[in-house]
Structure 1
Amino acid sequence: MLEVQDLTKKYGKVIAVDQVSFKVPDGKVGILLGPNGAGKSTIIKSIAGLVRFKGSVKIQDKPSNSIEAKKVFAYVPEIPSMFEALTVREHFEYIKRAYNVNVTDDELNRLMERFELIDKQDKLGNELSKGMMQKVSICCALLIKPEVIMLDEPMVGLDPAAIKELKIVVDELKQSNATILISTHMLEMVKDLWDIMFVMSKGKVIGQYNKDEVDAQAQDIETLFFNITGGEK
């Protein structure tokens, strides 16, 4: 479970996020939506431990900055960052050792095959395209077999085959009872994935919706989003 409670972040006198609270239970996919400047990126960075904030973030009931929480938490950033002098394969070996996870060569090879990285495994980090770096970042996150995973605009830069595979992976994570939070503006890409939707505007969560309730009312996710944000993009 991922739980955010009264999260507030200021940059000088500017309040980027104002007392935001939400929860994504185990086995559910939460979607964080909002127009540019709504505060999504600040929330993502706060959960990932990249910025200081007021309030609390808990991962599986443990403070997000604790070692216990970090062991079960994976993060796929919007802009992937590779070690320039490591090959793709060496990135995976680094993650295996850093997290002390037991992943066999067969498991690693199957993961690389899923994202078409087998023929790229000897490429250096500085030789990869943005899309390839995104695939490596996703695979690194999956290697630790996370209980909670957060993906920031994960489908930007991916080819159609990789987007399709990522959707399958998200569903598999959900079936394994993992907690998933996806921050995105690509509504079409997540309309079949989400369970809980959090809509942000001007640093606040202005709407929270359950997919079953929305489906029961025969509402469309895009129409709902634009109605609540007043048409903001």
Structure 2
Amino acid sequence: MLEIKNLTKKYGKNIAVEDVSLTVPDGNVGILLGPNGAGKSTIIKSIAGLLKFSGMVEIQGIASRRIEAKKIFGYIPEMPALFDALTVREHLEYICKAYDVNNDDNYMDVLLERFELTDKQDKLGNELSKGMMQKVSICCALMIRPKVILFDEPMVGLDPKAIKELKKTIIELKNNGVTILLSTHMLEMVKELWDVMFIMNKGKIVGKYTKEDAKDMDIDDIFFQITGGETE
């Protein structure tokens, strides 16, 4: 479970996010939507531990700042950042050592093959395209077998086949009880994935819907009705 309680972030006197609370249960896919400047990126970076904030973020009931929480939390940023001098495989090996994860079942090779990186595993980080870097970033996050995982615009830069594989992966994670929060402006890409939707505007959650609430309503219609029609 991912739980945020009364999260507030200020930059000087400016309030970027004000008193935001949300929960994504185990085995659910939450999607975070909002127009430009809504505060979505601030929420994402706060969950990932990249920003200081007031309030609380819990990963499986553990404060997100604690090591125990970080060990079960995966994060795929919008802009992947790899080490220039490490190969694709060495990135995954580094994650294994950092998170004390074993590879006895050759899960690393499974991931490399799944995202078509096997023949790229000896390439250095600075030799990869953005799409390839995104795939490596996804594999690194999956390598720790997280209980909670955050995807920030994960489909940007991916080719259609990789997008299809990522969707399949997200459904498998969900079916295995993993909690997923996915931030995106590509509404068409997540229509069949989401369970709960949070819509942000002007630093606050202005709408929350479950699949049951939405019924026959289209996700685009819900978003545009609340925000006035602007995606990021």
TM range (shorter): over 0.9
SS at match of 1:16: strand
What is the aligned partner in structure 1 of residue 88 from structure 2?
88
Give, in angstroms, the shift of residue 177 of structure 1: 0.3
Deviation per residue, 1:171-212 (Å, 9 max, x gap):
010011000000110000001000000000010000000012
Question: Which consecutive unaligned segments of at least 5 residues does structure 2 have?
Answer: none
Query: In angstroms, what is the RMSD of aligned CA positions?
Result: 0.8
Question: Which consecutive unaligned segments of at least 5 residues does structure 1 have?
Answer: none
* CA distance in 1: counterparts of 2:59 and 2:37, whole angstroms: 25
Residue identity opposite 1:196 in structure 2:
V
* CA distance in 1: counterparts of 2:139 and 2:178, whole angstroms: 16
Give, in angstroms, the shift of residue 68 of structure 1: 0.7
* CA distance in 2: counterparts of 1:45 and 1:127, whole angstroms: 27
* CA distance in 2: counterparts of 1:58 and 1:174, whole angstroms: 19
SS at match of 1:49: coil
Deviation per residue, 1:93-147 (Å, 9 max, x gap):
0001111112236321121111110111000001111000000000000000000
Q: TM-score, normalised by structure 2?
A: 0.98
Q: How does 1:1-233 map to 2 (within 5 A)?
A: 1-104=1-104, 106-215=106-215, 218-233=216-231
Give, in angstroms, the shift of residue 23 of structure 1: 0.2
Deviation per residue, 1:69-100 (Å, 9 max, x gap):
01100100000000000000000100011111
SS at match of 1:163: helix
Deviation per residue, 1:29-75 (Å, 9 max, x gap):
00000011100100000000001001000000010000110110010
Q: TM-score, normalised by structure 1?
A: 0.97
* CA distance in 2: counterparts of 1:59 and 1:109, whole angstroms: 28
Count of residue correspondences: 231
* CA distance in 1: counterparts of 2:196 and 2:55, whole angstroms: 22
- Divergent runs of 4+, >6 A: none
Residue identity opposite 1:144 in structure 2:
I
